[in-house]
Structure 1
Amino acid sequence: MSATLHSLLASHDADLPAIGAPDRDWLTYGGLRALGYQITDQLRAAGIGAHDRVAIVLPNGPEMATAFVTVAQAAITAPLNPAYRLDEYAFYLTDLKAKALVAQAGDDGPAVRAAQDCGVGILRLHADPSDPAGVFHLVPDAAADIPAAAGSPGPDSTALILHTSGTTSRPKIVPLSQSNLVASARNIQTSLALTSVDRCLNVMPLFHIHGLIAAVSASLASGASVWCAPGFDALKFFGWMKTATPTWYTAVPTMHQAILSRAARNADIIATTPLRFLRSSSASLPAQVMTALADTFNAPVIEAYGMTEATHQMTSNPLARGAQMPGSVGIAAGPVVRIAHEAENRIIDGTGEVVISGANVTSGYESNPDANAKNFFVADDTRWFRTGDQGAIDDAGYLHLTGRLKEIINRGGEKISPLEVDGILLDHPAVAQVVTFAIPHAKLGEDVAAAVVLVEGQRATDTDIRSFAAERLADFKVPRHVIILDEIPKGATGKMQRIGLAEKLGLATT
């Protein structure tokens, strides 16, 4: 069978539910396949061919899910964050060489204005709330002079383009092929033993690889269903859970922590809506949070390790109860995972840079030979991708991350893992969330700081927390500054970001 997104949906029973949403009827697999054909015809009529690039800017929800799934069967998708500003849209639309933008009917916001300024065609998405979840049609603002030729993407055709979330350098373009998407969806399906009886409650943003592949694509590969929430809201999560009756959900650690904070008052819903498992990815899940989630939901918590260049998943904790290892991102789950020397192009034992190879790994960054030369190398007759993460694989095959190489704190030559310090501080009974990060130091180069959110109703001072750390960490690892916040600044996908936090908190001066 051809390794394309179209083939992924082809064999499921037409009457099975595929896409759901609040107050909407279910869209079946038969309806989703029919929608795919309709959208292909509408794109071709609008002059969009199989190798043209279509940016998508839509709010989270069922139409965002089906727009990705259907447009990717006919062209190249490029979902963009709906929160971008005008200049950001102008950059991304130009950098992508987008031919069209899919936006909601009536949207005159910055994405549409940027598309108009850049000469990018606009395709208006029209949806009727009385239709099943995710049903829509596209109407171009201007009719095409010439319809595009018929034809479908093949396994090697690009299906999805995303940008890396660069901090100081220009974001890199990551093209992911149809076969990359299929391989990753199948890997996740296998890791989680997904079947047609499963249902994912999706709260992840669908401009991000985590939600697009783990929640949507892996579910559709399995003949399972996806219930699409309109974004993440801890106050509404348990109401959605009661309505959707999911068997699992996937989220980033900060979302899990917010859900935990409201779990006690929703114990009845947890009891009457049992989950088969919970999944966490896109940032390291503190061991304490994994244990608390497992105890609260009486279900295994599957921490996975993913990134855009791997079409999301690289490793995953095993599904069997008791096989999950708190503090580890699990075992290889699709690609081959090894440890490489951080400076030399060779595979090593011990601690080093995590590298991967497999069918889900991008073939390379677009139009960026320097980045490709830096991030890809050949050793042992295999082409490896450098993840930028430092870690080690134990004797049982579990990968333990020590942090992003660029986030490792270098205090006068002493290397400090922020994740290690996070784990210690989270043992303090008053600490709910923590992110350890580097701050400039005039003589040492860098020193250690930590931003902390306290447990509701608990009290602790920065001195209390530093004293707690000093009893458990070597002196050079103890944070010199502890900043207590109501909320830790997060990125667009809900992840806490270490790089740049010193600047945001006014600690960047030496």
Structure 2
Amino acid sequence: MNTAHYAHWPVGLPHAITTPETSLYVNLQVSALRYPDKPAVVFYDTVLSYARVHEDVLALAGYLQKECGVKRGDRVLLDMQNSPQFLIAFYAILRADAMVVPVNPMLLTEELAHYVADSGAKVAIASQEIFPRVAPLLRETSLQKVVVAAYADSLLEPTELNVPDFVRAPYAVPAAPGVVPWREALAARHTPGEHLAGPEDLACMPYTSGTTGKPKGCVHTHRTVMFNAMATPTWCGPVVPDNVALAVLPTFHVTGMQSVMNALVYSGGSVVMLPRWDRDVAGQLITRYKVTSWTLIPTMMIDFLSNPRLGEYDISGIKLVAGGGAAMPAAVAQKLLDLTGQQYLEGYGLSETMAASHINPRQRMKQQCLGIPYLNVDSRVVDPITFKEVPQGEVGEIWIHGPQVFKGYWNDPRKTEEAFAELDGKRFFRSGDLGYMDEEGFFFFTDRLKRMINASGFKVWPAEVELAMYQHPAVQECCVIAAKDAYRGETVKAVIVKRAGAAATGEDIIQWAQEKMAAYKVPRVVEFVDTLPKTATGKVLWKVLQDQELAKR
């Protein structure tokens, strides 16, 4: 294990920390006991205390157990945007001894069907604007009950902030078998049974995807989730209940879930939630609620700093601006530094590591750098063919060993076996990302061993998009690659061989795709070709097409 990075370790912080031997839910329970009247969640101008949130968590957990039949180890789908209901539902599922299956609220019915079938979820919790996509699966799959929430139920105080119509909309889902209004579930005030889940119980299963096939569930226990919920605020520090975080990254995704929501619940801080990005409302909330930390993706900061109304907002209280998933442009990072005195803190992690495995130390931050292996983590750069470590400065695959590493892919022992390898007697997760380590032990990303497109922080897996594209009657062959996009960084491009006689245009195919998949996956660019480059065995040479696209830049 290379320890060059220890020279830049935060002063006074040990190289490893001990995490609690409890379930993740206990973090909320403890914060509610310590700070009952303190704001847990701010939603526009509604402030919910830790005591109020905890009461609702217990009520919903009781309903899940007693009315929905949720048992220890069951999977419960959670499909909604950032809101108090998301946080309450997340912790209620854990309190019911079940496992949270967080899904992207942009997914459509056909995509959701896979998550339900694969996880075997019998119960889902969804917001009402998403429910129409979930409804066709009710009773037609394993899904038997859906608790449906209206965000408006969390708008308890008047506000002049710009609240989107879908947030203001009152509950309007028609009564139907298996459909339970959120308010009704909470009003029942069922008391949950004894909390049985411990560190090794199932806690959360975010889905990711690979180069082939459908998305895969990453199995995380309370222990693996707990580690980063505690380690991230410990690293970024200080861990005090007075921290206030702006939650604009989606909480269904591990970064927003762990680095913001769960980290703040662990420390007793306040989470200021926005269900949809709005640069003016973000500025107003930062000013009004004295936000101290903000985790984001670069496109948000680019938009925020270009706002002509920026001078109206007091952002001087921000003491930490962090993120990952894409490099922050140097000019934008400099403007942020000039305005706030804060250097953008970059980190690196995956769904398989429940957010961070590498973060820059605050006293020695390098830009466009993944950072160093942080608390309890051993990371190596390894030749993906020989499985031997490469010399410092050479490119190889990033391998990770640490307490936040997942247990495996749900119901997929073959993929699980492929994802791990042993080195020096330790079991390492093979990230599939290529990078190198400099002389100071900092890691840098160079390329992807796996195929993946990063569109504004959303990970798009070409194989998944290709499977959907083949459903179009005009598509004979399709290869999906990344194309440059001035705003999103990367966007989705489909290179298509049309069927003989097909008259579909690129716009026709794009419009069709908008009805079949989440918006971030939809190809923004379609190119028609006569043939796709292939190997002698007929496998499409996607790398050739990707390299050709890169050459155009």
1:154: how far off?
A: 1.3
**Given the superposition, is the C-alpha separation of residues 397 and 67 from structure 1 closer, same or farther in structure 2, using an over 3 Å criterion?**
same
**Given the superposition, is the C-alpha separation of residues 392 and 107 from structure 1 closer, same or farther in structure 2, using an over 3 Å criterion?**
closer
1:168: how far off?
A: 4.4
CA distance in 1, matches of 2:518, 2:82: 12
**Given the superposition, is the C-alpha separation of residues 203 and 167 from structure 1 closer, same or farther in structure 2, using an over 3 Å criterion?**
farther
Q: Which residue of 2 aligns with 1:482?
A: none
1:149: how far off?
A: 7.0
Question: Counterpart amino acid of 2:321?
Answer: L
CA distance in 2, matches of 1:138, 1:52: 23
**Given the superposition, is the C-alpha separation of residues 256 and 80 from structure 1 closer, same or farther in structure 2, using an over 3 Å criterion?**
same
CA distance in 1, matches of 2:157, 2:429: 41
Q: What TM-score comes out, normalization by structure 2 length?
A: 0.70
Residue 226, structure 1, aligned to residue 265, structure 2: no
Residue 453, structure 1, aligned to residue 498, structure 2: no
Question: What is the 5 A alignment of 1:146-185?
Answer: 150-166=194-210, 168-185=212-229
For 1:20, what is the secondary structure of its paired residue? strand
Residue 292, structure 1, aligned to residue 335, structure 2: yes
Q: Which residue of 1 aligns with 2:78?
A: 56
1:26-56 CA-to-partner distances (Å, cap 9, x unmatched) read 2222333333322221111121112111101
Question: What is the 5 A alignment of 1:410-429?
Answer: none
CA distance in 2, matches of 1:384, 1:37: 38
List alignment gaps of at least 5 residues for structure 2: 1-19, 159-166, 168-180, 463-478, 489-513, 533-553
Question: Counterpart amino acid of 1:3?
Answer: T
**Given the superposition, is the C-alpha separation of residues 504 and 115 from structure 1 closer, same or farther in structure 2, using an over 3 Å criterion?**
farther
Question: What is the 5 A alignment of 1:266-281?
Answer: 266-270=310-314, 273-281=316-324
Q: Which residue of 1 aligns with 2:301?
A: 256
CA distance in 1, matches of 2:371, 2:395: 16
Paired residue for 1:8, among 27, 39, 47? 27
1:365-388 CA-to-partner distances (Å, cap 9, x unmatched) read 122122122210111010000111
Q: Which residue of 1 aligns with 2:365?
A: 324
Paired residue for 1:212, among 257, 260, 264? 257
CA distance in 2, matches of 1:39, 1:125: 12
After alignment, is 120-129 or 247-256 more displaced? Answer: 120-129
List alignment gaps of at least 5 residues for structure 1: 409-417, 420-432, 439-445, 456-488
Q: Conserved in 1, the CA contact under 8 Å of 2:103 and 2:207?
A: no
1:148-206 CA-to-partner distances (Å, cap 9, x unmatched) read 97542111111111110446422111111111111011111112103211111111112
For 2:205, what is the secondary structure of its paired residue? strand
**Given the superposition, is the C-alpha separation of residues 138 and 356 from structure 1 closer, same or farther in structure 2, using an over 3 Å criterion?**
farther
CA RMSD, Structure 1 to Structure 2 (Å): 3.6
CA distance in 1, matches of 2:357, 2:130: 37
**Given the superposition, is the C-alpha separation of residues 245 and 365 from structure 1 closer, same or farther in structure 2, using an over 3 Å criterion?**
same
CA distance in 1, matches of 2:123, 2:282: 34
Residue 196, structure 1, aligned to residue 241, structure 2: yes
**Given the superposition, is the C-alpha separation of residues 106 and 284 from structure 1 closer, same or farther in structure 2, using an over 3 Å criterion?**
closer
Paired residue for 1:99, among 117, 122, 142? 122
Residue 373, structure 1, aligned to residue 412, structure 2: no
Provide the identity percentage: 25
Q: Which residue of 1 aligns with 2:287?
A: 242
Between Structure 1 and Structure 2, how many residues are aligned? 429
Q: Which residue of 1 aligns with 2:108?
A: 85
1:266: how far off?
A: 0.8
For 1:220, what is the secondary structure of its paired residue? helix
Q: Which residue of 1 aligns with 2:446?
A: 402
CA distance in 2, matches of 1:36, 1:451: 44
Q: Conserved in 2, the CA contact under 8 Å of 1:18 and 1:27?
A: yes
1:261-296 CA-to-partner distances (Å, cap 9, x unmatched) read 22x53124145x431021112233334433332223
Q: Conserved in 1, the CA contact under 8 Å of 2:245 and 2:264?
A: yes
Paired residue for 2:386, among 338, 344, 347? 344
1:344: how far off?
A: 2.6
